Amino acid sequence: MRYDTELCRILAKKQLTKDIFDVTVSAPKLAPIAKPGQFAQILVPGKTLRRPISLCGIGRETFRLVFQVRGAGTKILSELQPGEKMDILAPLGKGFPLEGSATHAVFVGGGIGVPPLLCAAAAFSGERTAVLGFRSKNAAILADDFAACGCQVQIATDDGSLGTHGLVTDILKKQHFDICYACGPMPMLRAVAKLCAQRKIPCWISMEQRMACGIGACLGCAVELRREDDSSYYGHVCKDGPVFPADRVVL
Ligand SMILES: Cc1cc2nc3c(=O)[nH]c(=O)nc-3n(C[C@H](O)[C@H](O)[C@H](O)COP(=O)(O)OP(=O)(O)OC[C@H]3O[C@@H](n4cnc5c(N)ncnc54)[C@H](O)[C@@H]3O)c2cc1C
Ligand code: FES
């Protein structure tokens, strides 16, 4: 795993919803070594532990980070302004495997699980469908960005205020694809993994777990994994993931 730190100047900042922010930072040292699915650990002024945020976009010399305010740390990050700097440790973890023989990928995202999939969809060379799920129209993010990078986009909302009224899996059941990449809440990941297993289609999921170090040193982000012989063991989301083959995780 190759990673480093960089003081990254905020180049642009947008508010996407009432609590989700879209920040582009300059990262000339880190961006060239980053891959879709990897994440950054961001130092929060006044806090000891860094906060893990996925890479939503990787430019030649920039990172795009889309994050939701969940607690004190992300609130402080959301208040930083263009021109100020973020201390970033990246790129961390293993990303999405995007090369191979698959020709039609489906990217299934739920809520704040959507950002890392945009980065992956932009890098996939075959046909692409994005199936995105949100609570309501007001919480929907990045649909135009998926369309702009060539995806056919389908949206599901819990309240029916945008797209299909229902779950992403209601849409997924009707799709034809030969590889799946997913990130979102655990019940969504379970349902997506099950559907792919029934169809014998490879499925890669990006997991979220509370983290401290982000580099495999504190053993704080344990996840139960499955071996070929079906016995289980504990791995770490930050080092062994965050992206795993769905059939190797005890969901
Ligand atoms: C690999 C990975 C990628 C992520 N990518 C994104 C993203 O792209 N956009 C986004 O909005 N959120 C993302 N998250 C979740 C984000 O890290 C948490 O929302 C954030 O750390 C909360 O920090 P806080 O100080 O606001 O909240 P608090 O609850 O005050 O945090 C307290 C402590 O718990 C840790 N913590 C709390 N919730 C989480 C969590 N869900 N995951 C990991 N650590 C947590 C914090 O890092 C901090 O150390 C990701 C998490 C992981 C593990
Ligand atoms: S966060 Fe420390 S081992 Fe994963």
Q: Domain of 72: which CATH number?
A: 2.40.30.10
Q: Mark whether 101 and 13 lie in a shared domain.
A: no
Q: What is the pLDDT of residue 188?
A: 97
Which residue range(s) make up the domain with 9? 4-92
What does the H/E/C string look like for 219-235?
CCCEEEEECCCCCEEEE
pLDDT at residue 196 above 80? yes
In the predicted structure, residue 190 carries a pLDDT above the cut 90: yes
pLDDT band at 191 (very low <50, low <70, confident <90, very high): very high
Domain of 246: which CATH number? 2.10.240.10
What does the pLDDT look like over 170-189, one tens digit per residue? 999 999 999 999 999 999 99
Please check whether residues 132 and 148 belong to one and the same domain: yes
Cα(217) to centroid of ligand 2, in Å? 6
- 100 with 87, same domain? no
How far does residue 60's CA lie from ligand 1's centre (Å)? Answer: 26
Same domain, residue pair 220 and 141: no
Domain boundary among the residues 43, 69, 92 is at: 92
If asked whether residues 216 and 192 sit together in one domain, one would say no
Domain end position, chosen among 71, 92, 113? 92
Among 41, 49, 221, 234, the mutation site with the greatest number of ligand 2 atoms within 8 A of its Cβ is 221
Q: How confident is the model at residue 99 (pLDDT cuts 50, 70, 90)?
A: confident
Among 44, 114, 55, 28, residue whose Cα is nearest residue 78: 44
Give the residue from 59, 92, 125 where a domain finishes: 92
Q: What is the mean pLDDT of the chain?
A: 96
The pLDDT of residue 100: 85
Claim to verify: residue 196 and residue 238 sit in the same structural domain:
no
Ligand 1 atom with minimal separation from the 211 CA: 44
**Entry pTM:** 0.96
**Whether 116 and 215 share a structural domain:** no
Indicate whether 198 and 137 sit together in one domain.
yes
116 and 60 in a common domain: no
Interval between CA 102 and ligand 2 midpoint (Å) = 32
241 Cα–ligand 1 center, Å: 15
Shared-domain flag, residues 216 and 200: no
pLDDT score for 219: 85
Would you state the pLDDT for residue 1? 64
- Average of per-residue pLDDT across 215-227: 93
What is the CATH classification number for the domain harbouring 176?
3.40.50.80
- Mean of pLDDT values over 156-168: 97
Instruction: Let me know whether 216 and 147 are in one domain.
Output: no
The model's pLDDT over 1-60, given as tens digits with 9 standing for 90+, comes to 689 999 999 999 999 999 999 999 999 999 999 999 999 999 999 999 999 999 999 999
On whether both 102 and 183 belong to a single domain, the answer is: yes
If one counts the domains in the chain, the total is: 3
